[in-house]
Amino acid sequence: RRLEVGEAVEVLEGPVEEGDLKRIRAKALLDGQEGWLSVSGSAGTKFLEDGGSTFKVVKDTILTECFDLDAGTNKAATRKLKAGELLEVRTWGKKQDGSGLTRMRCKAKSDGMIGFVTTIG
């Protein structure tokens, strides 16, 4: 299948050069399909670009308004994130004093909601 513009993939292997082409083996985060993709064409046309700021939720969790989980958050500003959802990093993870959790500020690609999510802990 063809990837959509802006679709995120996980690099599994490569890049490898095949003649004038540079290719990677990758998995689409949207549906888990795996295959080989051309990073760039023989004329130098760029098909893929590094998107190191996209994360995939691997376990149901919550997106909160505040960095500190103990802060009284507005229920309307908190929502459950389901496994498989894609997040775009806004601020890289920082360790929370006391709890030891690492939390980052991100934007849910599905609805644009911005908040904090636990990445380690």
For the whole prediction, is pTM greater than 0.75?
Answer: no
Write down all domains in the chain, each with its CATH number in brackets.
Answer: 9-50 (no CATH), 55-120 (2.30.30)
Q: State in Å, rounded, how far the first CA of the chain is from the last one.
A: 37
> Left, alpha or beta for 112 (phi > 0: left; psi -120 to 50: alpha)?
left
In terms of Cα–Cα distance, which of 115, 101, 107, 1 is closest to 54? 107
What are the tens digits of pLDDT across the range 67-97? 887 776 566 678 999 999 999 999 888 888 8
For 9-60, the pLDDT digits (tens) are: 888 998 898 888 899 999 987 788 999 999 988 887 889 987 778 888 999 9
CB 55 within 8 Å of CB 106: yes
pLDDT for 90: 92
Residue-wise burial string across 66-80, b where 16 or more C-beta atoms lie within 10 A, e elsewhere:
eeebeeebeeeeeee
pLDDT at 64: 93
Helix (H) or strand (E) holding 55: strand 54-56
Whether 116 shows a pLDDT value over 90: the answer reads yes
Q: Is the peptide bond before 15 cis (omega within 30 degrees of 0)?
A: yes
